[in-house]
Amino acid sequence: MNTKFLNTLLLVHKHGSMAEAGRRLNLTHGAVAQQIRALESELKVALVSRAGHTVHLTEAGMRILDKARDIQSSIDELTALAKSDEVRGELRLGAGNTSLHSVVPYVLARLINKHPQVNVTINPGYSADFYPAVENKELDAAIATQAPYALPKSLNWRLLREEPFVLLVSQRHAGRAPLDLLQRQPFIRYERNSWTGQMIGRYLKGLGLQPRERFELDSLESIALMVHLDLGVAIVPLAANLMGPQLRIVALPLGDYGEPRRFGLIWSRSSPKAGLIRAFLDAAQVEYQAYAAALAERGRGRPGRIQD
């Protein structure tokens, strides 16, 4: 059996289209159809069916889906092991929206410039989901908030950036006391069930504060824009791209705040793509350091500044 045909079947299932699978494989629609027919002939069963413009797996196709994925994963691991001295191959990376809209593109540019044989598949999502995904080998690595629990010994985590928590306010509130603003102004809450939201909740509880909540959401970029529009104040980690010059906002330090939010790279200790992950980590460390320096410089300007 030609195992490449199994990969073709997986792509047809993923995209619901032979044409799209062909584009991903740099094959014609006819070549994809021919590979599927060859696989069906060898297994002596129909694997795909059409419904309008969409291609679906048959019941028989669904039965072999998990095993086909296992086989393809094993082949990828063999390839990576055989070429362990050469940084190449596909990296399945998890990253949140804030990282994707700021530092990650620069990390990828540095990585590809040095290692042009690398491909990266990016899976947007949330830190809490990335840890089990890496442990289950659904992802090779992820940029994630430090977990609020001890990691299993099978996982590695390396710090990339610490983000202190600040009170984000519109420019008209510059110079005012943060606690006074928290008591008097509407509060925009970072989603309370997220890890970051739980850290903010513990801080407010420790101060005995119950701000007048107006909004609750899990997008730092949207929160910053709402503060810019003077819809309220918000406690947020001083994350990537919040203090852009287009926003008339000020970050007031919270001197009595405890732990910062920590971002880092998570990966499996037993990953066969160790060299590729190390190359990505090296690029990430350089770019996150450059970002920290740029953020410090930006904080001296107006608007969108950090108030000392």
Kindly tell me if the per-residue pLDDT of 249 is higher than 70: yes
Kindly tell me if the per-residue pLDDT of 294 is higher than 50: yes
User: Is 169 within 8 Å of 233 (Cβ atoms)?
Assistant: yes
Portion of the chain with pLDDT greater than 70, in percent: 91
- Rounded-to-integer distance, Cα 54 and Cα 26, Å: 20
The residue with greater pLDDT, 86 or 64, is 64
Three-state SS string over 10-61 comes to: HHHHHHCCHHHHHHHHCCCHHHHHHHHHHHHHHHCCCCEEEECCEEEECHHH
- Residue 63 CA, chain-centre distance (Å), reads 31
Mean pLDDT along residues 262-285: 94
Q: Between the ranges 5-14, 138-147, 288-297, where is the mean pLDDT highest?
A: 138-147
The residue with greater pLDDT, 193 or 298, is 193
Cβ within 8 Å of residue 76, ≥6 positions away? 89, 90, 272
pLDDT band of residue 307 (cuts 50, 70, 90) is low
- Rounded-to-integer distance, Cα 301 and Cα 171, Å: 13
Q: What is the pLDDT of residue 75?
A: 79
The residue count of the chain comes to: 308
With left for phi above 0 and alpha for psi between -120 and 50, is residue 122 left, alpha or beta? beta
- Rounded-to-integer distance, Cα 171 and Cα 189, Å: 19
Residue 35 has a CB neighbour count (10 Å cut-off) of 23
Q: What is the pLDDT of residue 92?
A: 96
Residue 202 has a CB neighbour count (10 Å cut-off) of 12
Kindly tell me if the per-residue pLDDT of 255 is higher than 80: no
Mean pLDDT along residues 257-277: 90
| Closest to 215 (Cα-Cα) out of 229, 206, 226 | 226
Question: 303 preceded by cis ω (within 30°)?
Answer: yes
* pLDDT tens for each residue of 79-94: 666 655 668 889 999 9
Q: What is the pLDDT of residue 301?
A: 46
User: Is 247 within 8 Å of 228 (Cβ atoms)?
Assistant: yes
The residue with greater pLDDT, 282 or 305, is 282
Q: Between the ranges 60-64, 66-70, 82-86, 136-140, where is the mean pLDDT highest?
A: 136-140
Kindly tell me if the per-residue pLDDT of 308 is higher than 50: no
pTM: 0.66
Q: What is the pLDDT of residue 34?
A: 92
pLDDT band of residue 73 (cuts 50, 70, 90) is confident
- Rounded-to-integer distance, Cα 107 and Cα 116, Å: 13
Kindly tell me if the per-residue pLDDT of 53 is higher than 80: no
Task: Tell me which of 121-130, 188-197, 211-220, 289-298 is least confident.
Answer: 289-298
* pLDDT tens for each residue of 32-48: 889 999 988 988 999 88
What mean pLDDT value characterizes the chain? 87
Amino acid identity of 304?
Answer: G
| Closest to 23 (Cα-Cα) out of 37, 11, 5 | 11
Q: What is the pLDDT of residue 125?
A: 92
